[in-house]
């Protein structure tokens, strides 16, 4: 491991795609409020109303409602993202478009296809030509074979190296597959802050609040902008993003007003407690106070679970709430993953700390939030069906 080692950024890739999309907006090639179906005439999802309503802005801010855990492997060819969007004809909705936030990686793959149609090239090449090369990000790439030129960090599960370096299908790139050194991640942020990546008004627009986030704990989000996660560090506004990949976890925190950017890239377990301790210490040196770690209160109390009991379902997941017990079950194409049984400890009248969630969440307690008829786990909204 060296300071220029290349890591998998996971969902931090969404900041790169958002930057690329906003460059097209700047040039007048794309309207934020354009309907996706007007830009991609062949775009279809399972709900005809959603097909005709979803906008570019909604994709960027995770308010399209598109169920996010949709990962068909459409091959390694240059047409993989086009084929992914064709497969979206079966993709359902977590929520109606524009009605609520629900984290959606699928939405960012659709954005990647919009980039391809408007630039006439692949998302990979468009990102390299329009963002990476102009900004001098020499240790940032989007294909695993490009990583071979560099020292690559290998992910670990339970202390053992992962048997495969990258499990993401190529089509997942716009939302989950950018590889970079920590230094290059900070250089991207610097290009945002000094105006060399985008015009200052575009940079400011990306940081504007588009939606509030009911689950303020999974990724410490207070709201969402156009790509950026928005934070409230005890009165100090911040932006950033988290990412998870094959045994690797990435954390980016930025305080624009002070010109502070911290990128923490890891390749082992227990990453969230580690990141919380490191980011809390570093930001504290600049007078920035992070909220306390998510945990149940010291004094236990009871909550009437009657309004929350029942079954919630979104694409690939069924959540069953039975008083203070929750079962999180992967179904359909996601059935290859193990289910989880969790105890729920009240944090407030609608927020619970789940125990037994397993190492995949890399934390002592996993937030389970009930809001507006949805159960939020992992920032994804599952509507109540029974």
10 Å CB burial of residue 32 (0-12, 13-18, 19+) is: middle
Give the CA angle between residues 275, 279, 284 to the nearest 5°.
155
Which own/partner pairs from 361-366 qualify as long-range (CB within 8 Å, at least 24 positions apart)? 361/272, 362/249, 362/269, 362/270, 362/271, 362/272, 362/273, 363/272, 363/273, 363/294, 364/273, 364/293, 364/295, 365/294, 365/295, 365/296, 366/218, 366/342
DSSP secondary structure string for all residues of 125-175: HHHIIIIITTTT-TTEESSHHHHTTS-BPPPEETTEE-SSS----GGGHHH
Selecting among 11, 23, 67, 220, the annotated active-site residue is 11
Classified as helix, coil or strand, 368 is strand
Verify whether residue 386 is a known catalytic residue.
no
Spell out the residues 6+ positions from residue 230 whose beta carbon is closer than 8 angstroms to its own: 207, 209, 221, 222, 223, 224, 237, 238, 239
Half-sphere exposure (Cβ direction) of 198: Cα atoms closer than 13 Å: 24
Catalytically active residues, by annotation = 11
């Amino acid at each position: 491991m060296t300071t220029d080692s290349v890591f998998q950024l996971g969902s931090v890739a969404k900041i790169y795609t958002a930057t690329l999309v906003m460059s097209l907006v700047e040039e007048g090639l794309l309207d934020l409020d354009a309907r996706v179906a007007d830009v991609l005439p062949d775009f279809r999802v399972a709900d005809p109303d959603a097909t005709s309503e979803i906008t570019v802005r909604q994709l960027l801010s995770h308010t399209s409602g598109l169920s996010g855990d949709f990962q068909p492997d459409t091959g390694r060819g240059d047409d993989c993202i086009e084929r992914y969007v064709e497969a979206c004809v079966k993709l359902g909705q977590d929520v109606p478009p524009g009605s609520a936030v629900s984290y959606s990686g699928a939405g960012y793959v659709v954005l990647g296809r919009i980039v391809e149609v408007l630039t006439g090239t692949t998302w990979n090449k468009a990102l390299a030509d329009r963002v990476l090369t102009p900004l001098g990000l020499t240790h940032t790439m989007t294909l695993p074979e490009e990583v071979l030129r560099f020292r690559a960090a290998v992910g670990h599960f339970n202390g053992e190296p992962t048997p495969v370096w990258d499990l993401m299908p190529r089509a997942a790139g716009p939302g989950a597959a950018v590889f970079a050194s920590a230094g290059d991640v900070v250089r991207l942020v610097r290009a945002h802050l000094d105006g060399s990546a985008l015009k200052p008004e575009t940079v400011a627009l990306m940081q504007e609040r588009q939606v509030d986030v009911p689950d303020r704990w999974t990724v410490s989000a207070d709201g969402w902008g156009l790509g950026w996660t928005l934070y409230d560090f005890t009165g100090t506004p911040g932006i950033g993003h988290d990412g998870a990949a094959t045994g690797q976890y990435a954390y980016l925190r930025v305080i624009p007003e002070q010109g502070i950017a911290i990128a923490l890239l890891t390749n082992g377990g227990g990453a969230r407690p580690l990141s919380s301790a490191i980011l809390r210490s570093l930001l504290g040196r600049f007078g920035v106070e992070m909220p306390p770690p998510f945990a149940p209160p010291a004094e236990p109390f009871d909550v009437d679970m009657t309004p929350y009991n029942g079954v919630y379902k979104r694409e690939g997941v069924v959540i069953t709430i039975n008083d203070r017990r929750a079962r999180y079950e992967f179904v359909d194409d996601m059935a290859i993953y193990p289910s989880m049984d969790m105890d729920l400890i009240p944090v407030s009248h609608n927020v619970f700390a789940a125990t037994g969630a397993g190492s995949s969440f890399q934390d002592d307690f996993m937030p389970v939030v009930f809001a507006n008829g949805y159960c939020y786990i992992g920032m994804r909204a599952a509507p109540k069906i029974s």
